[in-house]
């Protein structure tokens, strides 16, 4: 498929890109803090839609008494168990309760706006309908350099 290349210095595009990058950086740092608090590593990803903090990965994996098994669909991340495994060991009740409370507190404190930053405002500023990206298969990239935003996509964009 043919790639189209665009560049623009339009103030609204620059502002939308800078806003996205600022939010992405803040989410990345918050994810790193959350992971570090629990002794793990942040697993983060990006796609055409934006940036996401997926979860916390541990090496070696945490004990399955208090934590879920590593989730291969989510990059091997683990979360505190919703409920203890049966038969319930009495000595794990309080540590489990404390872990869940700490997990929820850290999420609420560090990720008050959720675990995703989307590019919808940036796409709108460029003139790209986000849904089009799914129908225009191929590589997609947007970046800023020296006050100009560059984009490459198989989708045709309006002149900017």
DSSP string, 80-129: B-SSPPSSPPHHHHHHHHHHHHHHHHHHHHH-TT-SEEE-HHHHHHHT--
Q: Structural domain of residue 20, as residue ranges?
A: 4-153
Cβ contacts of 82 within 8 Å, gap of 6 or more: none
Residues 80 and 4: their CA atoms lie apart, in Å, by 45
Dump pLDDT digits (tens) for 85-119: 888 899 999 999 999 999 999 999 999 999 999 99
Q: Is 96 inside any structural domain? A: yes
129: pLDDT confidence band, cut at 50, 70 and 90? confident
25: pLDDT confidence band, cut at 50, 70 and 90? very high
Please determine, for residue 160, whether its predicted confidence score (pLDDT) is greater than 80.
no
Torsion of CA 74, 77, 83, 86, to 10 degrees: 100
The residue assigned the tokens 């793990």 is: 40
Q: Is 18 inside any structural domain? A: yes
Q: Is 19 inside any structural domain? A: yes
Please determine, for residue 21, whether its predicted confidence score (pLDDT) is greater than 90.
yes
Secondary structure of residue 36 in the 3-state scheme: helix
**Considering its fold, how many domains does the chain have in total?**
1
Per-residue burial over 3-34, b = 16 or more CB atoms within 10 Å of its CB, e = otherwise? eeebebeeeebbebbeebeebbeebeebbeeb
Secondary structure of residue 20 in the 3-state scheme: helix
Q: Is 121 inside any structural domain? A: yes
Please determine, for residue 6, whether its predicted confidence score (pLDDT) is greater than 70.
yes
Dump pLDDT digits (tens) for 31-83: 999 999 999 999 999 988 899 999 999 999 999 999 999 999 999 999 999 99
Q: Is 124 inside any structural domain? A: yes
Q: Is 160 inside any structural domain? A: no
Q: Is 33 inside any structural domain? A: yes
More confident position, 86 or 19: 19
* Per-residue pLDDT at 74: 93
Please determine, for residue 126, whether its predicted confidence score (pLDDT) is greater than 60.
yes
Residues 31 and 44: their CA atoms lie apart, in Å, by 8
Q: Is 159 inside any structural domain? A: no
Write down the pTM of the prediction. 0.86
Residues 150 and 152: their CA atoms lie apart, in Å, by 7
């Amino acid at each position: 498929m043919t790639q189209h290349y665009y560049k623009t210095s339009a103030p609204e595009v620059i502002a939308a890109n800078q806003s996205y990058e600022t939010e992405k950086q803040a989410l990345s740092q918050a994810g790193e803090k959350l992971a570090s608090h629990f002794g793990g590593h942040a697993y983060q990803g990006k796609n055409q839609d934006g940036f996401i903090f997926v979860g916390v990965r541990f090496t070696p994996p945490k004990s399955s008494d208090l934590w879920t098994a590593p989730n291969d669909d989510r990059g091997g991340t683990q979360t505190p168990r919703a409920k203890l495994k049966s038969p319930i060991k009495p000595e794990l009740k309080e540590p489990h309760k404390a872990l869940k409370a700490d997990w929820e507190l850290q999420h609420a404190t560090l990720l008050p706006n959720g675990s995703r930053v989307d590019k919808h405002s940036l796409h709108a500023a460029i003139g790209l309908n986000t849904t089009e990206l799914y129908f225009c298969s191929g590589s997609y990239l947007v970046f800023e350099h020296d006050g100009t935003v560059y984009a490459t996509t198989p989708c045709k964009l309006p002149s900017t």
